Amino acid sequence: MADSTTPSSRPVVPSHEDRPVYVIGGGPGGLAAAYALRAQGVRAVVLEKSDRVGASWRRHYDRLHLHTTRRLSALPGLAMPRSFGRWVARDDVVRYLETYAEHHQLEIVTGVEVSRIEAAPDGTGWLLHATGGRELTGSAVVVATGYNHTPRVPDWPGRDAYSGEFLHAGEYRNAAPYAGRDALVVGVGNTGAEIAVDLAEGGASRVRLSVRTTPHIVRRSTAGWAAQFTGILVRRLPVRLVDRLAGPMARLSVPDLSAHGLPRPGTGLYSRVQEGSIPVQDVGLIDAVHKGRVEIVAAVEGFEGGKVALADGSRIEPDAVIAATGYVRALEGLVGHLGVLDARGKPVVHGARCPRTAPGLYFTGFTNPISGMFRELAIDGHRIAKAVARRTARERAAL
């Protein structure tokens, strides 16, 4: 693995044919793309801002497991060990990513953060502005900086003056610091749901879960059939058809929790997925809510003194507030000037497709598909590599 001084010691190569493809981000998406490019005979250099691969996975909470099966979560060219079990733990994911980089002898440069991407001055390829004033020129760029890049915290009134303990879910590790304490988790995505269960099982005296929009909840596995399998099967079906099929399935597999504050959603499951809302995989939430160990409360509207103001007009005073309110992609400074992002800051295309205004610029890992993130990253890596190889062959033929 190259050290962090490597890029500064290399001059910018003027020949477009000899320029590498730069992959920004040493997470699963970046590693998968780098391997696939190498397999196509294309030199790929991964630029990772931290000192190790898999940085975002190292920061996740302790009890996290993949919600997708081990067999369908492997990256191209290396299976996950059977010893990891069906649902792979966070630490095993990190070990796998380290092994993956070493096994494939990927060219990775750590400690280098890319701040801006521009078209190369000669009109071919891309110029990357990076740490320490580096300017790196690549024939193509794959942006794989990750779905969970920068924590997002709503601008709640009064939050700046709130004196109680407040943290984003990205800072949460385990329930030990909250044993015997009253905790409020804000947000009922997969992260919020799992943290609430973790707190309840870890000895918190009271756990409340603030919900703005009732989520769709699905069993991670039913009689051995993983929810991921269904996600793969229905991914290409019409949205309305999947919505109609999902309703009866949910009523059969998930009990009605209306009396506990979680009524069944009024909109279709796949319609919500298309809007960016992934179903909550049940890893104990249903049981915890049903038994009263996790209490559902209204959405947070703001903070008043030492209390949290909820949308139903009530005021509560937890010992700690954990905001499981998601992340932003934070791509604006990197590529926002290129016209390749939509109104929500997400790339307008991903995978093997390039934006019309930016040929040779690829994005991977900025969707959250129900068929499994790791699986889609593996597919994207292959498709991007083939697209780059075809483009390179056309350019060489034109010389």
Retrieve residue 5's tokens. Answer: 């001084």
For residue 44, the Cα-to-chain-centroid distance in whole angstroms is 23
Task: Flag the least confident range among 12-16, 193-197, 251-255.
Answer: 12-16
- pLDDT tens track for 195-209: 999 999 999 999 999
Per-residue pLDDT averaged across 184-190, rounded?
96
CA dihedral 184, 188, 190, 195 (to 10 degrees): 10
CB 381 within 8 A of CB 35: yes
Give 53's pLDDT tier (boundaries 50, 70, 90). Answer: very high
Q: What percent of the chain has pLDDT over 70?
A: 95
pLDDT for the residue 217:
95
The rounded distance, in Å, linking the Cα atoms of 28 and 53 is: 9
pLDDT band at 4 (very low <50, low <70, confident <90, very high): very low
Residue 268 backbone zone (phi > 0: left; psi -120 to 50: alpha; other: beta) = beta
Sign, Cα dihedral of 53, 372, 365, 217: negative
Instruction: Output the CA–CA distances (angstroms, integers) from residue 374 to 261, 348, 381, in the order listed.
Output: 33, 20, 10
Residue 18 to residues 13, 138, 148, 167: CA-CA distances in angstroms? 7, 9, 33, 47
Q: Residue 304 in contact with residue 161, Cβ under 8 Å?
A: no
22 Cβ contact list (under 8 Å, min separation 6)? 44, 45, 47, 114, 126, 128, 136, 138, 140, 141, 142
pLDDT at 232: 93
**In the chain, where does DSSP find H-type helix?**
6-9, 28-39, 55-58, 90-103, 190-201, 227-234, 239-253, 269-274, 285-290, 332-335, 373-398
pLDDT at 10: 38
Q: Assess whether pLDDT exceeds 60 at residue 9.
A: no
- Confidence label for 393 from pLDDT (cuts 50, 70 and 90): confident
pLDDT bin (cut points 50, 70, 90) of residue 332 is very high
Question: What pTM does this model have?
Answer: 0.90
How many degrees, rounded to 5, is the angle at CA 283 between CA 278 and CA 287? 115
At 367 the pLDDT is 86
* Assigned CATH for 6-149+329-398: 3.50.50.60
Q: Determine the Cα–Cα distance for residues 144 and 26; give it in Å rounded to an integer.
A: 8
pLDDT the model gives residue 276: 78
Is CATH 3.50.50.60 the classification given to domain 153-323? Answer: yes
Question: For residue 253, is pLDDT > 80?
Answer: yes
More confident residue, 351 or 10: 351
pLDDT digits (tens, 9 = 90+) for 97-146: 999 999 999 999 999 999 999 999 988 899 999 999 999 999 999 999 98
For the residues 283-309, what does the mean pLDDT come to? 96
**72-88 pLDDT tens trace:** 999 999 999 999 999 99
Q: Residue 179 burial by CB count (10 A; 0-12/13-18/19+): exposed, middle or buried?
A: exposed
Domain with CATH 3.50.50.60 in the chain: 6-149+329-398, 153-323
Q: What gap in Å lies between CA 324 and CA 210, rounded to an integer?
A: 10
Which pLDDT score, from 0 to 100, does residue 3 have? 47
Local confidence band at 16 (pLDDT 50, 70, 90 cut-offs): low
Instruction: Give the per-residue pLDDT at 230.
Output: 93
